[in-house]
């Protein structure tokens, strides 16, 4: 999926849709069936299909609004369960967001 996301950003004139099928559905689905499924959801870029028959529910990612952060509520534990200062391992934290934090 990563390569298709890059193509989507770099070639806006192309219509990219990623359709994620269950293993059993991918083995038996025809290209026409998959294209028909994608055509029913023309404005979605990612579709996850439930059920091997490809007749199940189709899911698409959505962002949900979050409540504003509160300084009164602790987001990250300062102490571990034994009472010692907590230790956190950050991976991938040297990218743009990690550097700004």
Closest CA to 56 of 80, 25, 13, 31: 25
Q: What is the pLDDT of residue 85?
A: 87
Q: What is the pLDDT of residue 89?
A: 73
* pLDDT interval class at 95 (50, 70, 90): low
CA 17 – CA 89 distance, rounded (Å): 35
Q: What is the pLDDT of residue 98?
A: 62
CA 78 – CA 5 distance, rounded (Å): 37
Residue range 6-27, pLDDT digits in tens = 777 788 788 888 888 887 767 7
CA 25 – CA 53 distance, rounded (Å): 6
Under DSSP, the state recorded for 46 is: E
Give this prediction's pTM.
0.54
Specify the residue for token string 């490809």: 54
Residue range 38-86, pLDDT digits in tens = 899 988 888 988 877 777 788 898 888 887 777 776 677 788 889 888 8
């Amino acid at each position: 999926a990563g390569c298709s996301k890059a193509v989507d950003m770099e070639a806006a004139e192309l219509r990219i849709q990623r359709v994620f099928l269950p293993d059993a559905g991918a083995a038996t689905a025809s290209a026409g069936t998959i294209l028909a499924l994608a055509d029913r959801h023309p404005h979605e870029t990612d579709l996850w299909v439930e059920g091997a028959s490809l007749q199940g529910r189709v899911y698409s990612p959505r962002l949900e609004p979050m409540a504003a952060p509160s300084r009164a509520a602790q987001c990250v534990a300062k102490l571990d369960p034994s009472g010692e200062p907590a230790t956190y391992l950050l991976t991938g934290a040297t990218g743009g967001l990690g550097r700004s934090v």
